[in-house]
Amino acid sequence: MRNYLTAECYKTFRRKYFYIVLAVCLGLELVLLGCCWLTLSWGNPNVTFSSTAVLVPFLLGMGLCAPLITGDIVFSDQYKHNTLKNEVSYGVPRARIYLGKLAVTALVSVLAALAMLGLYLGGCWLLFPHAAGDGQTWALVGYCLAGAFPLWLAGLAVVNACYFLIRSNTIAAFTGVGILLLVSQIFQLLGLLIHPVFEVIRQFMPNVMVDSLANMAFQWNYVGLCWLSGLVWFAAATAIGLLAFRRKEIR
C-alpha cells in the first residue's frame, strides 16, 4: 500500500493539472480580495476583517463539490485512457487501488483547502481593518470548519465512487453533483407531498448540514452530528463503491 500511495502521489504532484487548478482558484481569491479592498478604498465602511472572513462559513458548500476536481486530478479519466485496466491486470488488489486513490484524493483536497483558506483568511486579516468582533469571527470560522470537514470527506467518498463506477466522466460528474446537491431537493419535495420522514432524512444530507452550520453557531452537539453523519456517508459510499468496483468488469 505504501508503494502504491507513493506512486499515486508522485503521479499527481508531477502533473501540472493540480497546480493549474490551484493557481486559478487562488487567483480568483486574489481578485475577490482585490475587489473588496477596492471598495474599502472607495470609502465603503462595511468592509472589515469580520465582514469578509465571514464569507467562509457561508461558502462551505463549495468544499462539498471540490472533490469533483480533486478526484479528477487523481483519477483522471482512467477508463478512457485504459490505464485502470493496466493496474488491475498487473495484479494490484482492487481494494488497494480504490482506497489508495481515495486517500490521495483526500490528501490533495486537504492541501488545496489549506492553501485556499490560508490565502483568503490571511489576506482578509492583513488587508482589512480590525474591530472588536474579530475573535467571534475566528470562533465562527473554526466552528464551521470543524463541522464541515467530515461532510467534505463524505462528498469526497461519493464522488470517488462515481468516478470509479461510471465509465463516462461527464455522467460521473453529473451523478456526483446530483447525489450531493439534487437528492436533498427531491427529498424536500417528497417530504412536503408524501411523508415528513423524507424531510427528516434530508436534514442529514451533507449539503443541508453544511449550509446549516453557520446558523447553528456554537452548538457543538451539531458538530458532533455532522461528524456522525459525515462518517456514515463516507463509510457507506466507500463500501458501495468498493464492493461494486470489485465486481465490475474492466474492459
Partner 1 sequence: MRAYLTAEWGKAVARPYYRIYLAVMAALAAALALIWWWTGREGMFQGSFGECLSLLIPFFSAGIYLAVIVADAVFSDQYKAGTLKNEVSYGLPRVRIYLGKLLTAAAAGLLLVFLTLLAYAVLCRLFIPAGPEDWQAVQTFLFRLLAALPLWLGALSLTMAAMFNIAHTVPMLAVVLVCLSGLGPVFRGLAGLGPDWLSALAEALYRLTLTAPMDLGAVSLWDPAYLLWCWGVGLLWSAGSTAVGLALFARRDIH
- Quick one: which segment of 5-13, 75-83, 208-216, 223-231 binds partner 1 (CB under 8 A)? 75-83
Residue type, 212: S
169 binds partner 1 (CB under 8 A): yes
Dihedral pair phi/psi, residue 104, rounded to 5°: -70, -40
Residues 92-121 that bind partner 1 (CB under 8 A): none
Q: Does 42 bind partner 1 (CB under 8 A)?
A: yes
> Is 174 a binder of partner 1 (CB under 8 A)?
yes
Q: Is 171 in the site for partner 1 (CB under 8 A)?
A: yes
Q: Closest by alpha carbon to 226, among 250, 202, 212, 209?
A: 209
170 binds partner 1 (CB under 8 A): yes
Nearest-approach distance from CB 129 to partner 1, in angstroms? 16
The three cell numbers locating residue 50: 469580520
Nearer to partner 1 by Cβ, of 132 and 194: the residue is 194
| Least gap, CB of 171 to partner 1 (angstroms) | 8
Residue from the set 77, 134, 199, 211 that interacts with partner 1 by CB under 8 A: 77
Q: Which CB sits closer to partner 1, 126 or 193? A: 193
Spatial distance between the Cα atoms of 180 and 159, rounded to a whole number of angstroms = 9
Residue 72 contacts partner 1 per CB under 8 A: yes
Amino acid at 1: M
Residue with cell 434530508: 202
We find the least distance from the C-beta atom of residue 209 to partner 1, in angstroms, to be 22
Annotate each residue in 190-209 with x if it binds partner 1 (CB under 8 A) or - if it does not, as one string.
Answer: x--xx---------------
Q: How far apart are CA 46 and CA 223, in angstroms?
A: 30
Per-residue exposure over 104-122, b if at least 16 CB sit within 10 Å of its own CB, e if not:
bbbbbbeebbeebeebbbe
The distance of closest approach from Cβ of residue 178 to partner 1 in the complex, given in angstroms and rounded to an integer, is 10
| Beta carbon nearer to partner 1, 139 or 171 | 171
- Residue 190 or 225: the one with the smaller Cβ distance to partner 1 is 190
Rounded to whole angstroms, the Cα distance separating 183 from 177 reads 9
Q: How many CB atoms lie within 10 A of CB 201?
A: 15
Closer CB to partner 1, residue 120 or residue 143? 120
Q: 190-193 long-range CB contacts below 8 Å, 24 or more apart?
A: none
Q: Total binding residues for partner 1 by CB under 8 A?
A: 23
Residues near 16 by Cβ (< 8 Å), separated by ≥ 6?
Answer: none
Residue 235 CB, shortest distance to partner 1, in Å, is 26
Q: Sort 57 into a burial class: Cβ within 10 Å, 0-12 / 13-18 / 19+.
A: buried
Contact 233, 158 (CB under 8 A): yes
Residues within the interface to partner 1 (CB under 8 A): 17, 21, 35, 38-39, 42, 44, 46, 68-69, 72, 77, 80-81, 168-171, 173-174, 190, 193-194
